[in-house]
Structure 1
Amino acid sequence: MSRLGYYIKSKNFRITMLAAIGTSIAVLLIAYFSLAYYTRHGSGVPVPALKGLSVDKAMAKLQEQGFRVQIDSVYIQDQEPGTVLEQDPDAGTNVKQGRTIYLTVVTRVAPDVSLPDLEQSTYREAIATLANYGLRVSDTSYVSDIARDRILAVKFNGQALKPGDKLPKGSSISLVLGDGAGESEQDIPDLINQDLDAARFAIRGAGFTLGTVTYEGSITDSASLIVSGQSPMRSDSLTKASIGTRINITVTQGKKTIDEQQQPARPQTEPQP
């Protein structure tokens, strides 16, 4: 047997190994208890319960106990603005003084949302769609129209809205619906020289349906389009059409012009001799 083998089996080797293991365990225990003492493990100040308090009261409590505060905000409908919604760490957690406590507070300012397209939606469909956008319906009104319970117009504070208009989330709007008892015929609106949005509104308001929109000429700005033609067109022999009739329009690039009859007359000058 080699010298190494005799040494491994000797009493001195066993004593040396036990001493090394004991020393390692002692070092680990000293490090553990030293770290616990340094960090004051298991000690601290309990975090107060802050949910439901106003943000001012919550901040005063935390600062009184030596905590720092960081606030995040979120808008929630039907929640009192300025109220603490969440806290981190939770109430009762022991933490050291000087630690940052994170609060989620209901904001006082509602974010803007875009009005969805409700054209020809039923009342129930409109209610569901508006709820998904965080909007409410305050009241409804009915006008004579063959389409019963169909959305004909949307208003906010008395002003007509169009899809895409911005509103504060949680706003209450009013809906204009058809009563299903409209006349079988309505006057054909004169759309010539109207801008495209105004023409659409006039067609819907009269109980007709927008048909084909034909773009004539070079279009460089879709926000500046005027109606240059329509079919059917109001004339001396044709003034009315059935509810729901499709009105086709032709639009061109340009701005609304002033009717020549509305222009002031030019002063006439006497001929020169």
Structure 2
Amino acid sequence: MGKFFDYLKTKTFRKNLLIATVSIIAFLLVIFYSLGYYTHHGEGMPVPKLKGLSIGRAVELLEAQGLRYQINDSVYLIDKEPGIIVEQDPDPNTNVKANRTIYLIITRDAPNIKFPDIAGKTFLEVRSILNNYQLKVGDTSYVSDVARDVVISTSFGGSSIAKGQQIPKGSKVDLILGDGLGASEVDIPNLLGLLLNEARLSLIGSSLVLGEVTYEGTVVDTVGAKVIRQLPAISDTLNKVSIGTQIDVVLSN
């Protein structure tokens, strides 16, 4: 054992150790640079930035640089149209060799959902419900109705839509709401042949007012007299009047 330690102290050992160390380093350097030469280390082309581009435009750029592509996955994003690149691998400006495959994630069409029940609900309720279903409020318009800000009807893409119907998530739904005023015009009732009290009740039911009452000819029984004319009268050009309009009547036995 002592001779071994004595040998470690000799010039011969130190010389051999130095030669071995240099040889190992030289071998490693040769391997490193040989691999670099074999694999063309540092050579290649930068990957273009594809995020935000349409899949068609991205494919054009990749093919022009001799690169391949593969769509790995697709996701739905409410604020982006289908076919837009949202992720890429490798990242932009990464050096790659020709024929390298670039992996892409793109946006897809919105999934369909069942349209919720919003009929008869107020605008504030409907807006909250649509938001929970990831739908949007589109155009709103008002029609004459006694219910104020209550949904009268709904439509999507110009067609009416009902509860349970399939609709793409993120779609805009148009609403028709009541203005709270009710109808501004009503049909003129036909009073001919009615007694005065009957005519008065018919006008009240139509939100109209009994106007001037006159009699024609000799009337011996006013209670039994019936309407023979009314003004305004129902005609082909007039069948509606504003609420509260006075209707004059002429009675006769």
Shorter-chain TM-score: which interval?
A: 0.5 to 0.7
Match in the other structure for 1:59? 59
1:199-244 CA-to-partner distances (Å, cap 9, x unmatched) read: xxxxxxxxxxxxxxxxxxxxxxxxxxxxxxxxxxxxxxxxxxxxxx
Answer whether contact 2:117 2:162 (CA < 8 A) is retained.
no
In structure 1, distance between residues paired with 2:106 and 2:18:
60
In structure 1, distance between residues paired with 2:179 and 2:96:
64
In structure 1, distance between residues paired with 2:138 and 2:152:
16
SS in 1 for 2:113: strand
**CA deviation after TM superposition for structure 1 residue 177, in Å:** 5.4
In structure 2, distance between residues paired with 1:57 and 1:76:
19
Match in the other structure for 1:127? 127
CA distance change for structure 1 residues 84 and 5 in 2, over 3 Å: closer, same or farther?
A: closer
**CA deviation after TM superposition for structure 1 residue 68, in Å:** 0.6
CA distance change for structure 1 residues 29 and 128 in 2, over 3 Å: closer, same or farther?
A: farther
SS in 2 for 1:28: helix
One-letter identity of the residue aligned with 1:76: L
CA distance change for structure 1 residues 125 and 19 in 2, over 3 Å: closer, same or farther?
A: farther
1:169-201 CA-to-partner distances (Å, cap 9, x unmatched) read: 23222346566789xxxxxxxxxxxxxxxxxxx
Greater shift in the superposed pair: 81-90 or 38-47 = 81-90
**CA deviation after TM superposition for structure 1 residue 8, in Å:** 1.7
Match in the other structure for 1:229? none
**CA deviation after TM superposition for structure 1 residue 67, in Å:** 0.6
One-letter identity of the residue aligned with 2:146: S
Unaligned stretches of 5+ in structure 2? Answer: 183-253
Match in the other structure for 1:2? 2
In structure 1, distance between residues paired with 2:121 and 2:160:
20
Match in the other structure for 1:21? 21
* Greater C-alpha radius of gyration: 2
**CA deviation after TM superposition for structure 1 residue 73, in Å:** 3.4
Match in the other structure for 1:39? 39
In structure 2, distance between residues paired with 1:70 and 1:45:
18
**CA deviation after TM superposition for structure 1 residue 97, in Å:** 0.7
Greater shift in the superposed pair: 136-145 or 43-52 = 136-145
- Alignment pair present for 1:49 and 2:39: no
In structure 2, distance between residues paired with 1:21 and 1:98:
41
CA distance change for structure 1 residues 133 and 2 in 2, over 3 Å: closer, same or farther?
A: same
**CA deviation after TM superposition for structure 1 residue 167, in Å:** 1.1
In structure 2, distance between residues paired with 1:4 and 1:138:
93
SS in 1 for 2:35: helix
One-letter identity of the residue aligned with 2:95: N
Match in the other structure for 1:144? 146
Identity of aligned residues (%): 48
Matches for 1:35-114 after TM superposition, within 5 Å? 35-71=35-71, 72-107=73-108, 109-114=109-114
**CA deviation after TM superposition for structure 1 residue 112, in Å:** 1.0
SS in 2 for 1:6: helix
SS in 2 for 1:170: coil
In structure 2, distance between residues paired with 1:160 and 1:49:
42
Q: TM-score, normalising length from structure 1? A: 0.52
Q: How many residue pairs are counted as aligned between the two chains? A: 178
SS in 2 for 1:161: coil
Q: CA RMSD in A?
A: 3.3
CA distance change for structure 1 residues 40 and 120 in 2, over 3 Å: closer, same or farther?
A: farther
CA distance change for structure 1 residues 171 and 7 in 2, over 3 Å: closer, same or farther?
A: same
Greater shift in the superposed pair: 3-12 or 167-176 = 167-176
In structure 2, distance between residues paired with 1:13 and 1:77:
74
Q: TM-score, normalising length from structure 2? A: 0.56
One-letter identity of the residue aligned with 1:170: G
